[in-house]
Structure 1
Amino acid sequence: MTINQELADLDLPKRTSLIVYLRNANSDQFKLRRLGDIVYFSKKMHYLIMYVDQEKVEETLQQLEKLTFVKKVEVSEADQIDLDNQQIEDQIKDLAKEAEEILNDDSKKKGWMK
């Protein structure tokens, strides 16, 4: 079973992350707390990442775009990341085989194995 399937089976509320670019990073972030959960805020880069319920994404996007201190809003693509372990396991097996071949070749050249 993949991680995505396991997460889908749990009874957790479905959340989506939004990236909100701000015009001024002074205190504008505090005004957005009522719309969702702010998980990261960059004062230097003038943006924040917030989570909102999936059912309220369109509504929240419209509210955010109306605000004067918001430059741009993007829906994060982190939800599209495939968390399937099979690809990673295959890569690890391939790397292990390559390492064994290299070690066997080196040991034969140095005369360790006969």
Structure 2
Amino acid sequence: MDDIMDKKEIRPLEVPERVAIYVYCHSYKGARQLARFGDVIYTSSKSHYSLLYVEDNEVAELVKKLEELKFVKKVRVGRLKALNQDFSGAFAKTNLEVKEALEKLS
């Protein structure tokens, strides 16, 4: 029993940075092969696209590989990291607008 535990690889607890990749395919059959490239989170059989998550440092070379596959129409990389996710300014502005509206009603 100890031999089995010694042979198992201990994975690190830290999660690497991952990026979403949307892969549009000609058919649903092709989408099943995408699991070898990354973690397939969602596949739409009607719209023929799949959502993959891959590590940040592998994105450029993986996009090239995916575009070379004959069942792939197009590949798009998610841009969530490029968006400003600091909403504190918008929250403060909304708060101010609500206060002004309440003062007008009073």
2:35 match: secondary structure? coil
Find out whether 1:78 has 2:62 as its counterpart: no
- Cα displacement string for residues 92-111 of structure 1 (whole angstroms, at most 9, x for unaligned residues): 3123213312321xxxxxxx
> Any unmatched runs of 5+ in structure 1?
1-10, 105-114
Q: Please report the TM-score for the alignment, with normalisation by the length of structure 1.
A: 0.73
Greater radius of gyration (CA): 1
Q: Distance in 1 between matches of 2:19 and 2:45?
A: 22
Shift >6 Å, 4+ stretches? none
- Cα displacement string for residues 41-97 of structure 1 (whole angstroms, at most 9, x for unaligned residues): 111111111110011111211110111000000111122122113123213312321
Identity, % of aligned positions: 34
> Any unmatched runs of 5+ in structure 2?
1-13
Q: Please report the TM-score for the alignment, with normalisation by the length of structure 2.
A: 0.77
- Per the alignment, residue 23 of structure 2 pairs with 20
Name the aligned partner's letter for residue 79 of structure 1.
K
